[in-house]
């Protein structure tokens, strides 16, 4: 699927303290991403704090984003939930509204077995009726998709892609090659973990599922296009210029940093959902300084 390649940009979901979506701010973010010509928008991912929102607010966010995108940019939307039946309903909602695909993580309180995750994903893909992207996010879910499980899921009708973590930078090449060998042709292999994503794209990943792309899409698009064109040197040059941002992501988490970036860039004023607290004034000053160090034209 063509939309599951290139840059998938993941914006925040601005909302008030009661979890009600700020639709004006969300539309502004979507307009910005469409104008930058990202390949897809990753709505209601971890950066979009999907797990903190009700089904009603998730539907409202998706409806507003789809309306603003106007069919110009496909939207991949988070459909993860603790219960399988809830995830099915969220996938059905997303399909009915017009989402291109659903992003599904192995969200759980009780640790899950491989067979439980296989059944969960299979049921959501079958009953939800929406193409599903596997979201391997062990830093949050504490569940890691083994090669065996990925190979099984990739054969399930309706499961079309995977979003991989890239925390082990020295294993990116071997991980991608190994995954290519166990999934069907046309199955999209993507990466997250922004500070290692350039190397993953150079190594042949199909998609960069990007947090920074949701707030600074232009530079991320340039990295992706350079990687796709085989210009690894240019991709690495652009990536190196973002080192101040990557350092902040590692220090404070990408989620907290992008909320500050949205304010500094005069896109919107919002706070992450409680109990996640906004960053301190000292931390915000570090982000201001990092923005000032970026090359001209990057922070817009």
What are the tokens at 83?
């219960």
In sequence order, the 6+-apart residues with CB closer than 8 A to the CB of 147 are 178, 179, 182
Q: Encode burial over 55-81: b for 16+ CB neighbours within 10 A, e otherwise.
A: eebbbbbbebbbebbeeebbbbbbbbb
What are the tokens at 87?
């995830």
What is the C-alpha to C-alpha distance for residues 9 and 165, in angstroms, rounded to an integer? 16
What is the C-alpha to C-alpha distance for residues 237 and 142, in angstroms, rounded to an integer? 33
Going by the annotation, the residues of the binding site for pyruvate are 47
Of these residues, 50, 95, 163, 259, which one is catalytic?
A: 163
Find out whether 44 and 62 touch, Cβ atoms under 8 Å: yes
Going by the annotation, the residues of the binding site are 47
In sequence order, the 6+-apart residues with CB closer than 8 A to the CB of 51 are 80, 107
Find out whether 16 and 51 touch, Cβ atoms under 8 Å: no
Cα distances from 280 to residues 108, 265, 285, in angstroms, run 31, 18, 9
Q: What are the phi and psi torsion angles at 93 (to 5°)?
A: -60, -50
163 an active-site residue? yes
What is the C-alpha to C-alpha distance for residues 147 and 126, in angstroms, rounded to an integer? 22
Mutual orientation of helices 23-35 and 55-69 as an angle, nearest 10°?
40
Which of 103, 12, 21, 32 minimizes the C-alpha distance to 61? 21
52 an active-site residue? no
Of these residues, 28, 95, 109, 135, which one is catalytic?
A: 135
Hey, which residues are catalytic here?
Answer: 135, 163
């Amino acid at each position: 699927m063509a939309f599951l390649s290139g840059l998938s940009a993941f914006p925040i979901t601005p909302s008030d303290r009661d979890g009600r979506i700020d639709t004006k701010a969300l539309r502004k973010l979507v307009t910005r991403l469409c104008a930058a010509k990202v390949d897809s928008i990753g709505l209601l991912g971890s950066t979009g704090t999907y797990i903190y929102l009700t089904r009603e607010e998730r539907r409202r966010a998706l409806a507003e984003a789809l309306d603003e995108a106007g069919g110009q940019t496909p939207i991949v939307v988070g459909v993860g939930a603790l219960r399988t039946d809830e995830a099915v309903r969220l996938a059905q909602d997303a399909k009915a509204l017009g989402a291109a695909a659903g992003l599904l993580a192995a969200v759980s309180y009780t640790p899950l077995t491989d067979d439980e995750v296989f059944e969960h994903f299979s049921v959501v893909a079958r009953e939800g009726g929406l193409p599903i992207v596997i979201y391997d996010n062990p830093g949050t879910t504490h569940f890691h998709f083994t090669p065996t499980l990925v190979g099984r899921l990739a054969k399930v009708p309706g499961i079309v892609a995977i979003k991989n973590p890239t925390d082990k930078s020295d294993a990116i090449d071997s991980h991608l090659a190994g995954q290519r060998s166990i999934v069907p042709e046309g199955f999209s292999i993507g990466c997250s973990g922004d500070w290692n994503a350039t190397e993953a794209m150079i190594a042949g990943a199909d998609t960069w599922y990007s947090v920074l792309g949701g707030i600074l899409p232009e530079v991320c698009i340039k990295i992706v296009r350079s990687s796709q064109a085989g210009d690894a040197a240019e991709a690495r040059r652009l990536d190196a210029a973002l080192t101040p941002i990557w350092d902040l992501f590692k220090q404070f988490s990408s989620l907290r940093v992008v909320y500050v970036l949205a304010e500094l860039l005069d896109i919107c004023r919002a706070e992450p959902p409680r109990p996640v607290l906004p960053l301190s004034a000292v931390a915000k000053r570090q982000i201001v300084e990092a923005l000032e160090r970026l090359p001209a034209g990057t922070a817009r």
